[in-house]
């Protein structure tokens, strides 16, 4: 088997052997969808907009699933590997430690896609939440959300020295990012000022773009630009600052 | 033909000069030791050989190739064991070997390797649950899984108990017997004396001596020291009259006689003629530690200057 295939398989096994990661990354987002959907008022349409709260929560939980892994799992893993000299050890083999990063990203993307599929299917089957109507648009803004979270995660991995610091930084960023994504208060319910701030956060923009495309519309240019800007700034900083040692 | 050639190697980190004009050559099939106190520049030197660091000056060649520019080829030829390198806690022994085997074009059979290193029964054990000695065996296995021509082992036995250390020494000799050239970085004199065919003594970034362990000792001093308790009092003048004897010191009822390589024979012959029995007789030879002391003015153990 090739090095990349073996690395990817190994990283996937290690993910599955970590109960906390399995719970928060894979189990928790669908579980939360079921819990929220079990609240009767969340299934009632808003008399003004006709939108149900549970409809709003599907894209929020999709964003949360991405953020869980990108902000805590990935930086923690990479910083830990660097701290323990694993990336350095790989540098003495014919395979570059960049391959380890690639393997992690593959595991991440596959997991995120899987959890997203589960969330969409569960929403449809359990609560009759419509599947995304504008699929190419949805796929595009999903990709942008994914890459913006990855860039931030890699930025964390680049600036911290230890796995502990990576976990702490991931947590500190996770809450404001998810707050503005609407996890505690969906964007539709936010006061105007809060929503305007949310427009400029990576997942605030991401969730709104996901919501717009899911409803069959086109995403706002502002949200696309905001995500691209986050990707450019954190991605370039991560690439500049990351070291294998 | 040397398999590794290091010429005029210099490396500094900021203001600190780690390696200061180091040169040596490693011959095919030997165990070459790099011995010196902590912080002497040993690790930096081998990291330049492994291509992990770029020398500020000087050249390193491995089978005629440059470890930085011919990275792919050189990493296939060298199996490395790094100081303080860990694996993921939950990665199992067998998985680690299969993973590293997948990095090389012509890897060794992981199962055979585990068996020859005596950890075949640990195949399904996660890294976290291995003992220190088992972790070192695994790291040797990982260094060998690519079928390298050279194994670079850095402080392999540091932190192991004496029994595990001796077992590891046997393993290193087995590896050499398979035809693998070994570069062994150590600060244990006993380890270097026991294993190395030749060694470079490094202190403060410089090679202070380069020879076989016996050659190093002989170069420094050909003095031998005898300690014994004579059954009857003996005139020290009579001992000093022997041409082989240099000094005689009396401590209580014990005598310490120093002299050249033939001093033992001369002294025991004299005692036999005088019918004096030498009890608790001990012959003390110069060790590598003494050699290091003589060459640098400091002992190996006391020369500690912090980490590498």
Contact B85 A95 (CB under 8 A): no
Per-residue pLDDT of chain A (245 residues; tens, 9 = 90+): 689 999 999 999 999 999 988 999 999 999 999 999 999 988 888 888 888 999 999 999 999 999 998 998 899 999 999 999 999 999 999 998 889 999 999 999 999 999 999 999 999 999 999 999 999 999 999 999 999 999 999 999 999 989 899 999 999 999 999 999 999 999 988 999 999 999 999 999 999 999 999 999 999 999 999 999 999 999 999 989 988 87
* Minimum CA–CA partner of A12 in chain B: B91
Q: Of B72, B78, B88, which is closest to A92 when you measure between CB atoms? A: B78
Chosen for mutation from B78, B95, B103, B150 (greatest number of chain A CBs closer than 10 Å) is B103
Give the end-to-end CA distance of chain A in Å, rounded to a whole number. Answer: 27
Tokens of B35: 């011995």
Q: Of B78, B82, B90, which is closest to A14 when you measure between CB atoms? A: B90
CB interface of A with B, residues 66-95, below 8 Å: 80-81, 84-86, 88-95
Q: Is A173 exposed, middle or buried (0-12, 13-18, 19+ CB in 10 A)?
A: buried
Pairing mode of beta strands B245-251, B254-259: antiparallel
Pairing mode of beta strands B31-35, B181-186: parallel
Residues of A in contact with B75 (CB under 8 A): 92-94
Contact A88 B52 (CB under 8 A): yes
Distance, CA of B308 to chain centre: 16
Map out the domains of chain B with their CATH numbers. Answer: 2-218 (3.40.50.300), 222-285 (3.30.70.980)
Residues of A in contact with B76 (CB under 8 A): 94
Contact B98 A6 (CB under 8 A): yes
Rounded to whole angstroms, the Cα distance separating B154 from B177 reads 19
Contact A6 B99 (CB under 8 A): yes
Buried b or exposed e, range A24-63, using 16+ CB within 10 angstroms: bbbebbbebbeebbeeeebeeeeeeeeebbbbbbbbbbbb
Per-residue pLDDT of chain B (308 residues; tens, 9 = 90+): 799 999 999 999 988 999 999 999 999 999 999 998 888 899 999 999 999 999 999 999 999 999 999 998 999 999 999 987 889 999 999 999 999 999 999 999 999 889 888 889 999 999 999 998 899 889 999 999 999 999 999 988 887 888 888 888 988 898 899 899 999 999 888 889 899 999 999 998 999 889 998 888 777 666 788 899 998 888 888 888 999 888 888 888 888 888 887 888 899 899 999 899 988 888 877 777 777 777 777 766 654 443 33
Contact B82 A95 (CB under 8 A): no
């Amino acid at each position: 088997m090739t090095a990349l295939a073996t690395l990817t398989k190994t990283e996937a096994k290690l993910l599955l052997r970590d109960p906390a990661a399995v719970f928060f990354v894979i189990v928790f987002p669908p579980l939360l969808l079921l819990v929220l959907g079990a609240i009767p008022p969340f299934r009632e349409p808003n008399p003004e907009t006709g939108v149900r709260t549970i409809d709003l929560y599907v894209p929020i939980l999709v964003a949360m699933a991405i953020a869980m892994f990108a902000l805590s799992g990935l930086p923690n893993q990479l910083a830990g590997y660097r701290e323990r000299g694993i990336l350095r050890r790989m540098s003495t083999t014919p395979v570059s430690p960049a391959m380890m990063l690639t393997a992690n990203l593959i595991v991440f993307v596959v997991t995120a896609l899987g959890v997203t599929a589960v969330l969409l299917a569960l929403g449809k089957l359990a609560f009759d939440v419509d599947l995304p109507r504008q699929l190419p648009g949805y796929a595009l803004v999903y990709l942008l959300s994914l890459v913006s979270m990855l860039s931030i995660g890699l930025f964390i991995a680049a600036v911290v020295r230890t796995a502990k610091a990576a976990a702490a930084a991931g947590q500190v960023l996770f809450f404001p990012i998810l707050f503005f994504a609407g996890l505690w208060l969906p964007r539709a319910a936010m006061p105007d000022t809060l929503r305007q701030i949310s427009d400029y956060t990576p997942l605030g923009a991401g969730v709104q773009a996901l919501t717009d495309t899911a409803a069959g519309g086109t995403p706002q240019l502002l949200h696309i630009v905001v995500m691209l800007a986050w990707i450019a700034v954190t991605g370039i900083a991560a690439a500049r600052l990351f070291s294998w040692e | 033909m040397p398999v590794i050639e290091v010429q005029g190697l210099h490396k500094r980190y900021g203001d600190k000069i780690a390696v200061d004009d180091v040169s040596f050559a490693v011959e095919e099939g030997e165990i070459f030791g790099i011995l010196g106190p902590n912080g002497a520049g040993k690790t930096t030197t081998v990291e330049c050989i492994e291509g992990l660091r770029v020398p500020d000056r000087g050249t390193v060649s491995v089978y005629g190739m440059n470890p930085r520019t011919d990275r792919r080829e050189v990493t296939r030829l060298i199996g490395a064991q790094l100081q303080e390198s860990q694996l993921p806690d939950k990665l199992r022994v067998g998985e680690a070997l299969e993973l590293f085997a997948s990095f090389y074009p012509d890897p060794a059979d992981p199962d055979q390797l585990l068996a020859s290193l005596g950890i075949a029964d640990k195949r399904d054990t996660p890294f976290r649950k291995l003992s220190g000695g088992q972790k070192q065996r695994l790291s040797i296995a990982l260094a060998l899984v690519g079928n390298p021509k050279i194994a670079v082992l850095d402080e392999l036995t540091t932190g192991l108990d004496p029994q595990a250390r001796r077992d590891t020494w046997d393993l290193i000799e087995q590896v050499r017997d398979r035809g693998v050239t070994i570069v062994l970085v150590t600060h244990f004199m006993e380890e270097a004396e026991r294993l190395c065919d030749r060694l470079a003594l490094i202190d403060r970034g410089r090679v202070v001596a380069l020879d076989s362990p016996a050659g190093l000792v002989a170069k420094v001093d050909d003095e031998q020291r005898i300690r014994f308790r004579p059954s009857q009092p003996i005139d020290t003048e009579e001992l000093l009259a022997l041409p082989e004897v240099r000094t005689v010191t009396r401590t209580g009822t014990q005598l310490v006689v120093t002299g050249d390589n033939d001093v033992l024979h001369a002294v025991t012959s004299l005692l036999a003629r005088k019918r004096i029995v030498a009890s608790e007789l001990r012959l003390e030879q110069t060790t590598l530690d003494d050699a290091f002391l003589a060459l640098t003015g400091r002992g190996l153990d006391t020369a500690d200057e912090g980490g590498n």
